[in-house]
Amino acid sequence: MATRNLLLLPGDGIGPEAMAEVRKLITAMNEKLGTGFATEEGRVGGSAYDAHGQAISDADMAKAMAADAVLFGAVGGPKWDAVPYEVRPEAGLLRLRKDMELFANLRPAICYPALASSSSLRQEVVEGLDILIVRELTGGVYFGEPKQIIDLGNGQKRGIDTQVYDTFEIERISGVAFELARTRQNRVTSMEKRNVMKSGVLWNEVVTATHKAKYADVKLDHMLADAGGMQLVRWPKQFDVIVTDNLFGDMLSDVAAMLTGSLGMLPSASLGAPDGVTGKRKALYEPVHGSAPDIAGQGIANPIAMIASFAMCLRYSFNMVAEADRLEAAIAAVLDDGLRTKDIMSEGKTEVGTTAMGDAIIAKF
Ligand code: ATP
Ligand code: MG
Q: What is the pLDDT of residues 260-310, one digit of tens each?
A: 877 899 999 999 988 888 888 999 999 999 999 999 999 999 999 999 999
Tell me the mean pLDDT in the region 43-58: 98
In this structure, the answer to whether residues 217 and 295 fall within a common structural domain is no
Give the residue whose CA is nearest to atom 3 of ligand 1.
290
> Which residues are CB-contacts of 151 (< 8 A; sequence separation ≥ 6)?
157
> What's the domain range around 14?
1-103+275-365
Q: What is the pLDDT of residue 128?
A: 87
Catalytic residue, chosen from 58, 166, 217, 254, is: 254
Q: Which of 271, 301, 329 is the last residue of a domain?
A: 271
The neighbouring-strand residues paired with 8 are 41, 71
Q: Give residue 55's identity as a one-letter amino acid code.
A: A
Q: What is the pLDDT of residues 83-108, one digit of tens each?
A: 999 999 999 999 999 999 999 999 99
Q: Would residue 254 show up in a list of annotated catalytic residues for this protein?
A: yes
Query: CA 196, CA 224: separation in Å to the nearest integer?
Result: 10
In this structure, the answer to whether residues 1 and 11 fall within a common structural domain is yes
Burial label for 122, CB within 10 Å (0-12, 13-18, 19+), is exposed
Backbone angles phi, psi at 55, to 5 degrees: -75, -25
Compute, in angstroms, the gap from residue 2 CA to the centroid of ligand 1.
37
Residue 1 has pLDDT above 60, yes or no: no
**Number of structural domains the chain divides into:** 2
CATH number at residue 349: 3.40.718.10
Compute, in angstroms, the gap from residue 363 CA to the centroid of ligand 2.
32
In this structure, the answer to whether residues 98 and 212 fall within a common structural domain is no
Q: Would residue 226 show up in a list of annotated catalytic residues for this protein?
A: yes
Q: What is the pLDDT of residue 124?
A: 86
Residue 3 has pLDDT above 90, yes or no: no
Query: CA 217, CA 348: separation in Å to the nearest integer?
Result: 47
Q: Quick one: what percent of the chain has pLDDT higher than 90?
A: 88
Which comes out higher in pLDDT, residue 180 or 1?
Answer: 180
In this structure, the answer to whether residues 113 and 99 fall within a common structural domain is no
Regarding the beta carbon of 301 and ligand 1, being less than 6 Å apart is answered yes
Among 28-32, 179-183, 261-265, where is mean pLDDT lowest? 261-265
Q: Evaluate whether 68 touches 36 at the Cβ level (below 8 Å).
A: no
Compute, in angstroms, the gap from residue 283 CA to the centroid of ligand 1.
23
Q: Give residue 318's identity as a one-letter amino acid code.
A: F
291 appears as a binding residue in the annotation: yes
In this structure, the answer to whether residues 192 and 45 fall within a common structural domain is no
pLDDT band at 59 (very low <50, low <70, confident <90, very high): very high
Query: CA 168, CA 101: separation in Å to the nearest integer?
Result: 14
Q: What is the mean pLDDT of the chain?
A: 95
Tell me the mean pLDDT in the region 150-173: 97
At 350 the three-state DSSP class reads strand
Residue 319 has pLDDT above 90, yes or no: yes
Q: What is the pLDDT of residue 2?
A: 64
Q: What is the pLDDT of residue 140?
A: 96
In this structure, the answer to whether residues 260 and 328 fall within a common structural domain is no
Q: What is the pLDDT of residue 257?
A: 85
Q: Which of 239, 271, 303 is the last residue of a domain?
A: 271
Q: What is the pLDDT of residue 259?
A: 84
Q: What is the pLDDT of residue 342?
A: 95
In this structure, the answer to whether residues 164 and 98 fall within a common structural domain is no
For the beta sheet containing 69-74, the strands, ordered from the edge strand earlier in sequence to the opposite edge, are: 37-41, 4-11, 69-74, 281-287, 267-274, 104-110, 130-136, 241-244, 187-192, 219-224
In this structure, the answer to whether residues 138 and 257 fall within a common structural domain is yes
Tell me the mean pLDDT in the region 191-219: 98
Q: What is the pLDDT of residue 195?
A: 98
Q: What is the pLDDT of residue 104?
A: 98
Give the residue whose CA is nearest to atom 27 of ligand 1.
264
DSSP state of 339: E
In this structure, the answer to whether residues 352 and 293 fall within a common structural domain is yes
Regarding the beta carbon of 289 and ligand 1, being less than 6 Å apart is answered yes
Tell me the mean pLDDT in the region 60-75: 97
Positive or negative CA dihedral for 61, 62, 66, 67? negative
Regarding the beta carbon of 177 and ligand 1, being less than 6 Å apart is answered no
Q: Evaluate whether 71 touches 7 at the Cβ level (below 8 Å).
A: yes
Q: What is the pLDDT of residue 254?
A: 87
Q: Which of 271, 295, 316 is the last residue of a domain?
A: 271
Alpha-carbon dihedral 276, 278, 282, 285, rounded to 10 degrees:
150
Q: Evaluate whether 29 touches 323 at the Cβ level (below 8 Å).
A: yes
Q: What is the pLDDT of residue 102?
A: 97
Q: What is the pLDDT of residue 262?
A: 77
Compute, in angstroms, the gap from residue 74 CA to the centroid of ligand 1.
10
Q: List, as one string, the DSSP characters of 162-178.
A: -----HHHHHHHHHHHH
pLDDT band at 51 (very low <50, low <70, confident <90, very high): very high
Global pTM? Answer: 0.93
Q: Where are the alpha helices (DSSP H) in the chain?
A: 15-33, 46-52, 58-66, 89-99, 113-116, 123-126, 167-182, 198-214, 225-234, 246-259, 304-317, 321-336, 354-364
- Closest ligand 1 atom, residue 306 Cα: 27
pLDDT band at 258 (very low <50, low <70, confident <90, very high): confident
Regarding the beta carbon of 174 and ligand 1, being less than 6 Å apart is answered no
DSSP state of 344: G
Regarding the beta carbon of 295 and ligand 1, being less than 6 Å apart is answered yes
Query: CA 311, CA 215: separation in Å to the nearest integer?
Result: 26
Tell me the mean pLDDT in the region 228-253: 96
Query: CA 88, CA 76: separation in Å to the nearest integer?
Result: 8
> Is the ipTM beyond the 0.90 threshold?
yes
Positive or negative CA dihedral for 114, 117, 119, 123? positive
In this structure, the answer to whether residues 71 and 96 fall within a common structural domain is yes
Regarding the beta carbon of 302 and ligand 1, being less than 6 Å apart is answered yes
Q: What is the pLDDT of residue 277?
A: 86
Long-range contacts of 343-352 (CB under 8 A, 24+ apart): 343/262, 343/263, 343/264, 343/302, 344/115, 344/118, 344/261, 344/262, 344/264, 344/265, 344/302, 346/118
Q: Give residue 227's identity as a one-letter amino acid code.
A: A
In this structure, the answer to whether residues 149 and 262 fall within a common structural domain is yes
Q: What is the largest CA-CA distance in the chain?
A: 72
Query: CA 139, CA 322: separation in Å to the nearest integer?
Result: 34
Q: What is the pLDDT of residue 276?
A: 84
Ligand with the closest atom to the CA of 289: 1
Q: What is the pLDDT of residues 106-155, one digit of tens each?
A: 999 999 888 887 777 778 888 889 999 999 999 999 999 999 999 999 99
In this structure, the answer to whether residues 184 and 293 fall within a common structural domain is no
